[in-house]
């Protein structure tokens, strides 16, 4: 995937610089809280830890805290750029630890090239951390540092550049050899790259069953052979062979496996063709492999290839390793990450790849099916099962090998792992993954807007949708050039010169001639981009419309309602937001956008549409009809309206889990419902919240986002016969992408709805949503 310089800088710069923050796990809102969090209350756990040092895991976060430590001497493909310049990488590592395994991280950048200083620093920091992940330290210093720390420290120390690649590629190796039916004890393996990763991979492959004498190691000087003096060290010497081979090309003749941890273009098609039948090629150089997937496949049809890239099958990505390895190690308080634990991680990944892949994972990658074989050797990073399989395997190996200080029951532990991240962790991408399965044409009336152009670039790049930009071609092209955004994969349509302009005007006149629109006015109105875009949807020239980043809500939705209209059977359109809390809980809030004072009948439509939207996110709806009272505690017209809506909902959809009227805090508190309202259907708490009016819904949503720190997806417009979504004027590029993905999924489901041109409905009252 191509990422521009500006995209990368924007991602790291805003809205808050960097990628990580510290979030307290205890409240600190009152004087009492302050006295507990700090002096005098904090003295009590200090004294307990003094008496029993193991209590540090009981009273502090040490048991879930890892240091990502680097001196910046071997950062990605950038080389020795220094500790400070390497900080974004270490923060990125922290993000991956947290996202994939819920492990907390402090990144530590050390301004030293002296291995002894780094060793001493880590030893002094041992009381702070539950483990240390060494990162981007050049060879051979990294070997010396890790070896010394493993001997002297009682917490796990793991150099991911060495062992991460070894563990994941080792899983791919086991499965590739199984696919082609080769004995691991007999295969010949050629390594290109004798740095930290290359040496570690070779050693790990030996532990997996490759014979050391069957490995040829190459570096920038050629084959590592017995008696070679130039560029040697004790780590390379372990793989020096008695051989006449001197070049990489010579070594690859007849080889079964190539493992590249070197540089772009290190091998060519002729070298791949010289390998044994059914060759296995791991071209793992980043960001560009030793040979591309396409070139390797073109060289011979029987090749199995893995790379470090996400846009090809079999991505060897270290994120499949370190988060889950540390998760397992931390949870049993392991004193080390030993070879048994690394082997367990490899075998867990290899075994998981042979399991039936859930549909949710296939949807996440925009494919109908993932099946063990040449194109699927190792699991995908976003497969939630990796956490359960790998972390539990590592924990089990730690217990078996005697380094676990706190053994766990594995069945109980697996259940804990499953609950750690929760269902919400995949929600924000659910619609994008569904959209990728069948991208549709999305028209953007604000085609020359900067945020729209950047969002459309992402839509094309991630294969989410096919953008149609409305506006003058020269203006759009100039703006794109200025932004450095490619227009490849996008269609530009200028309403002023479009070939369908006349046909659209005639259709508009036919639609609106009895609503005061003359033929002349229809020709004038069609120049309005929102009108033109809506007509494209009506006439089948586009599948969905997304607009509003430069306009008021009513200016965007009015043409859509007049031209596209509502879904058959509905009397109102409405809007909702998906809200993901910091705890990972997911809620759907409605109506946040359209209906100021909905009737009981309107609330029924809003609830049914929002419940349907929750199901699109693969969430089973539990609907709470909100008020300022719970179950008749107050006699007021608003409460009566909500109670009436609940009665109508039970009639409209008897299968829907819905209850009310109920106060908002009661609705989202399972314990309150269980204790005070055992008769309620909302067991486990509500996840769809229907407000009695627009004011309360809109205010609550914005406060939750701003003050509560919730992540919102939306606004999502519901009830249109064809997909139309209205953006907030403050929408970010990411929010535009999310809304566009929802529009694409709407279009995918559109066949289930009646066509708007045969349905006549009353246009609702319009309000602002900015």
Radius of gyration for the alpha carbons in the chain, expressed in angstroms and rounded: 30
Structural tokens at position 8: 């990368």
* Nearest to 607, CA basis, from 672, 681, 660: 660
38 is catalytic: yes
Which are the contacts of 359, defined by CB distance < 8 A and separation ≥ 6? Answer: none
Dist CA 382 CA 374 (whole Å): 20
93 is catalytic: yes
Dist CA 478 CA 467 (whole Å): 17
Asked if 249 contacts 239 with a C-beta cutoff of 8 angstroms, the reply is: no
* Nearest to 552, CA basis, from 701, 695, 728, 733: 728
Print burial letters for 535-570: b (CB count within 10 Å at least 16), e (below 16): bbbbeebbbbbbbbbebbbbbbbbbbbbbbbbbeeb
Asked if 589 contacts 577 with a C-beta cutoff of 8 angstroms, the reply is: yes
Asked if 692 contacts 642 with a C-beta cutoff of 8 angstroms, the reply is: yes
Dist CA 80 CA 585 (whole Å): 42
Residue in 93, 236, 342, 380 annotated catalytic: 93
Structural tokens at position 547: 């607009």
* Nearest to 261, CA basis, from 227, 215, 205, 218: 218
Other Cβ atoms within 10 Å of 349 Cβ, number? 26
Asked if 535 contacts 563 with a C-beta cutoff of 8 angstroms, the reply is: yes
Q: Taking CA 222 as the corner, what is the angle to CA 217 and CA 223, rounded to the nearest 5 degrees?
A: 40
Dist CA 454 CA 719 (whole Å): 28
Q: Phi-psi bin for 274: left (phi > 0), alpha (psi -120 to 50), beta?
A: alpha
Q: What burial class does residue 327 get, using C-beta atoms within 10 Å of its C-beta: 0-12 exposed, 13-18 middle, 19+ buried?
A: buried
Which are the contacts of 11, defined by CB distance < 8 A and separation ≥ 6? Answer: none
Dist CA 704 CA 720 (whole Å): 27
> What is the residue-wise DSSP string for 33-79?
HHHHHSTTTTHHHHHHHHH-GGGHHHHSSGGGEEEEEE-SSSBTTTB
C-alpha 117, offset from chain centre: 37
Other Cβ atoms within 10 Å of 516 Cβ, number? 7
Structural tokens at position 180: 């082609």
Beta strands in 51-116 (DSSP E): 65-70, 104-109
Dist CA 172 CA 378 (whole Å): 6
Pairing type for strands 222-223 and 215-219 reads antiparallel
Dist CA 740 CA 742 (whole Å): 5
For the chain, the first-to-last Cα distance in angstroms comes to 33
Backbone angles phi, psi at 662, to 5 degrees: -150, 145
Which are the contacts of 481, defined by CB distance < 8 A and separation ≥ 6? Answer: none
Which are the contacts of 432, defined by CB distance < 8 A and separation ≥ 6? Answer: 462, 464, 737, 738, 741
Which are the contacts of 445, defined by CB distance < 8 A and separation ≥ 6? Answer: 470, 529, 530, 532, 533, 545, 547, 556
Residue in 5, 26, 38, 120 annotated catalytic: 38
Pairing type for strands 711-718 and 574-580 reads antiparallel
Q: What is the signed CA dihedral for 239, 243, 249, 253, rounded to 10 degrees?
A: -100
Dist CA 615 CA 434 (whole Å): 13
Catalytic residue IDs = 38, 93
């Amino acid at each position: 995937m191509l990422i521009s310089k500006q995209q990368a800088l924007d991602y790291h710069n805003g809205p808050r610089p960097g990628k990580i923050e510290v979030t307290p796990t205890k409240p600190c809102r009152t004087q009492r809280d302050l006295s507990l969090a700090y002096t005098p209350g904090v003295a009590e756990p200090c004294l307990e830890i003094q008496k029993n040092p193991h209590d540090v895991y009981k009273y502090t976060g040490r048991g879930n805290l890892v240091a990502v430590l680097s001196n910046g001497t071997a950062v990605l493909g950038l080389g020795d750029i220094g500790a400070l310049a390497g900080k974004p990488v270490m923060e990125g590592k922290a993000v991956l630890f947290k996202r994939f395994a819920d492990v907390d991280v402090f990144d530590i950048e050390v301004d030293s090239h002296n291995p002894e200083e780094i060793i001493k620093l880590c030893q002094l920091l041992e009381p702070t951390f539950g483990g240390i992940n060494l990162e981007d330290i050049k060879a051979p210093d990294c070997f010396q540092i890790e070896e010394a720390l493993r001997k002297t420290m009682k917490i796990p120390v793991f150099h991911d550049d060495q062992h991460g690649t070894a563990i994941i590629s080792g899983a791919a190796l086991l499965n590739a050899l199984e696919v082609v039916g080769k004995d691991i004890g007999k295969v010949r393996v050629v390594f290109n790259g004798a740095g930290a990763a290359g040496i570690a991979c070779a050693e790990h492959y030996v532990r997996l069953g490759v014979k050391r004498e069957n490995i040829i190691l190459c570096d920038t000087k050629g084959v590592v052979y017995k008696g070679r003096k130039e560029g040697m060290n004790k780590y390379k010497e372990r793989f020096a062979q008695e051989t006449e081979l001197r070049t990489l090309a010579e070594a690859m003749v007849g080889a079964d496996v190539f493992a590249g941890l070197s540089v772009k273009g290190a091998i060519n098609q002729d070298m791949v063709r010289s390998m044994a039948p059914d060759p296995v090629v791991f071209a793992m150089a980043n960001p560009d492999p030793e040979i591309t997937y396409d070139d390797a496949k073109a060289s011979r049809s029987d090749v199995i290839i893995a790379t470090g890239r996400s846009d090809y099958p079999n991505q060897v990505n270290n994120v499949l390793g370190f988060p889950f390895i540390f998760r397992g190690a931390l949870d049993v308080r392991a004193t080390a990450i030993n070879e048994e634990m690394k082997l367990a991680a490899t075998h867990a990944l290899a075994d998981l790849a042979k399991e039936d892949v859930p549909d949710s994972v296939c949807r996440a990658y925009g494919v109908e099916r993932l099946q063990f074989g040449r194109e699927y050797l190792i699991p995908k990073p976003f497969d939630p099962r990796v956490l359960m399989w790998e972390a539990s395997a590592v924990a089990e190996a730690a217990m078996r090998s005697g380094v676990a200080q706190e053994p766990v029951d594995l069945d109980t532990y697996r259940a804990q792992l499953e609950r750690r991240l929760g269902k919400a962790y995949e929600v924000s991408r659910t619609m994008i993954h569904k959209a990728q399965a069948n991208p549709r044409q999305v028209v953007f009336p604000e085609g020359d807007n900067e945020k729209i152009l950047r969002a459309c670039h992402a839509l094309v790049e991630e294969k989410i949708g096919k953008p149609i930009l409305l506006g003058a071609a020269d203006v759009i092209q100039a703006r794109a050039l200025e932004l450095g955004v490619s227009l490849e994969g996008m269609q530009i349509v200028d309403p002023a010169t479009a070939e369908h302009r006349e046909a659209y005007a005639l259709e508009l006149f036919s639609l609106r001639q009895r609503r005061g629109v003359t033929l002349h006015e229809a020709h004038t109105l069609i120049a309005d981009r929102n009108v033109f875009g809506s007509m494209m949807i009506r006439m089948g020239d586009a599948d969905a419309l997304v607009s509003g980043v430069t306009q008021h809500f009513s200016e965007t939705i009015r043409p859509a309602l007049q031209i596209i209209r509502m879904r058959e059977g509905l009397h109102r359109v409405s809007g909702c937001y998906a809200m993901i809390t910091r705890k990972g809980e997911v809620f759907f809030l409605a109506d946040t956008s359209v209906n100021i004072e909905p009737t009981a009948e309107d609330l029924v439509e809003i609830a049914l549409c929002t419940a349907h939207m929750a199901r699109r996110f693969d969430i089973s709806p539990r609907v709470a009809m909100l008020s300022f009272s719970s179950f008749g505690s107050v006699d007021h017209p608003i409460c009566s309206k909500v109670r009436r809506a609940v009665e109508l909902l039970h009639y409209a959809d008897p299968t829907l889990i819905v209850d009310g009227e109920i106060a908002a805090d009661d609705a989202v508190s399972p314990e309150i419902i269980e204790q005070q309202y055992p008769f309620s259907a909302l067991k486990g708490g509500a996840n769809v919240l229907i407000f009695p009016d627009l004011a309360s819904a809109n205010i609550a949503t914005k406060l939750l986002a701003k003050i509560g720190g919730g992540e919102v997806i939306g606004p999502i417009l519901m009830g249109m016969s064809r997909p139309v979504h209205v953006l907030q004027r403050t929408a970010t590029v990411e929010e535009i992408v999310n809304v566009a993905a929802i529009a694409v999924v709407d279009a995918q489901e559109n066949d289930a709805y009646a066509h708007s041109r045969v349905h006549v409905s009353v246009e609702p009252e319009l309000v602002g949503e900015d």
